[in-house]
Structure 1
């Protein structure tokens, strides 16, 4: 966990998860994906140790919505698929 994470803590979850929250959560997971660095995995977007705050928030939102790992993987894959 990064020092800023210790200070700020996790991003609060919404009181109930809407379809819009799911869209934002998938985007957060996609944008804040891991990238391998010499010191270990880092967030591709902000270079914080992975998983960063926004990746964790996105994952928690999708978990709260009741999505399985497989469903989350499918949503992320759809988000990152090249447009034809």
Structure 2
């Protein structure tokens, strides 16, 4: 965990998860994906240690919505296919 993570803590979750929150969460996970660096995995967007705050927030939102890892990986793949 980076020092900024320690200072800021986790991003708060919404009181209830809407379809729009799921869309934002999928985007956060996709944009803040892991990238291999010489010193280990880093967020490809902000270079923080992976998983960064937004990536963790996205996963927590999807978990609160009841989605499994496999389900949101499928949703991410569908989003990528729609953009192509």
TM superposition score normalised by structure 2: 0.95
| Structure 1, 70-79 or 18-27: larger mean CA deviation | 70-79
Distance (Å, rounded) in 1 between the aligned partners of 2:79 and 2:3: 30
TM-score normalised per structure 1: 0.95
How far the C-alpha of 1:38 sits from its partner, in A, is: 0.4
Gapped runs of 5+ residues in structure 1?
none
Matches within 5 A, 1:15-34: 15-34=15-34
Looking at structure 1, the residues matched to 47 and 79 of structure 2 have their Cα atoms a distance apart, in angstroms, of 21
Give distance in 2, aligned partners of 1:14 and 1:61.
8
Aligned residue pairs: how many? 83
Deviation at 1:5, TM superposition (A): 0.2
Q: Which runs of 5+ in 2 are unaligned?
A: none
Determine the C-alpha separation between the residues in 2 that align with 1:24 and 1:78.
Answer: 15
Q: CA deviation at 1:79?
A: 2.2
Q: CA RMSD in A?
A: 0.9
SS state at 2:36 partner: strand
Which residue is 1:67 aligned to?
67
